[in-house]
Amino acid sequence: MKNHTIIWDFDGTILPMAPFDSEQSLLVYRMSQTENPFSWFKKGYARVIIYADRREWFRKTFKKAYVRLLKGTSSSTLDEVCGNIAHKISTADRSFLRKLKDTGYDMIVLSCGTADLSERVLKVAGLKDCFRLIEGNRFRFSADRIAGMDFHIPDPSDKLDRVKNLKLSPQRTIVVGDGYTDLPLLNWSSIPVMIDRTGQKKKRFTSHNFYFISSIPDIMNIIEANITQRKTSR
């Protein structure tokens, strides 16, 4: 198991929601800024799409609205937001992720979210170097301000396509996610792990043959169980 690849989702998996993910947090912060402020209409629109996204409604609509609302936002705003939310990755989670990297696991982040945010949060948390790849959708910048977005992984199926392009084997890949954007990868992997901090995901995805954990360090129990199973099956 030592040389397995671990593929992580980011929002809701490495970064707890509590209560917003990184994209929602950026919109919330942007609404509060006094420099180049949102109009009352834009604030109302932002609240609606945040509400919809938290309930996993209209994902493609969210992304388009999200980028439209954020055009003109400075890259320094992204730094501020990520600095503010990186603390949500607990000390225990940081230590465990570092331990996995130091033990020799190849780790990748694949997200349908915004890679610019994932990278910044992981850098602030001192974890960016733990991951060989951090991939997702990326902002386009003009004069250091958001001008649009390049959609590299807009849909859940794109994660699986990316993994296949990387020539990874499902038998040697652990996938860790938290929801519907991770389902194609979780169903593909021989060791699919869903993080369920509230206990609600197990009820929702009970028909799937997933491992469920309540915290990131709990994945070690699954790794050790699979090591034992592999040894006894030889």
- Within 8 A by CB and 6+ apart from 102, the residues are none
Cis amide prior to 19 (ω within 30 degrees): yes
Q: What is the Cα–Cα distance from 40 to 210, expressed in whole angstroms?
A: 44
What are the two backbone dihedrals, phi and then psi, of residue 206, each rounded to the nearest 5 degrees?
Answer: -60, -25
Distance of CA 211 to the CA centre of its chain: 18
Q: How many CB atoms are located within 10 Å of the residue 54 CB?
A: 14
> Tens digit of pLDDT for each residue in 13-69?
999 998 999 999 999 999 988 777 788 999 999 999 998 888 877 777 888 899 999
Q: What is the Cα–Cα distance from 32 to 171, expressed in whole angstroms?
A: 47
Measured N-to-C along each axis, helices 40-54 and 22-32 cross at an angle, to the nearest 10 degrees, of 160
> Tens digit of pLDDT for each residue in 205-233?
888 889 999 999 999 999 888 765 655 55
How confident is the model at residue 206, as a pLDDT? 84
Q: What is the Cα–Cα distance from 39 to 20, expressed in whole angstroms?
A: 22
Cα angle 171-174-176, degrees, rounded to a multiple of 5: 150
Beta strand pairing call for 191-195 and 106-114: unpaired
Length of the chain: 234
- Pull the structure tokens for residue 73: 């936002």
How confident is the model at residue 229, as a pLDDT? 64
> What is the band of 1 on the pLDDT scale with cuts at 50, 70, 90?
very low
> Tens digit of pLDDT for each residue in 89-105?
999 999 999 999 999 99
DSSP H or E run through 106: strand 106-114
As a 3-state breakdown, the chain gives helix, strand, coil percent values, each rounded to 5, of 50, 20, 30
Q: What is the Cα–Cα distance from 14 to 215, expressed in whole angstroms?
A: 10
Q: Identify which of 160, 67, 174, 53 has the alpha carbon closest to the alpha carbon of residue 117.
A: 67
Q: What is the pTM of this model?
A: 0.91
Single-letter amino acid code for the residue at 89: I
> Tens digit of pLDDT for each residue in 128-174?
999 999 999 999 999 999 999 999 999 999 999 999 999 999 999 99
DSSP state of 138: E
Mean pLDDT confidence for 115-125: 98
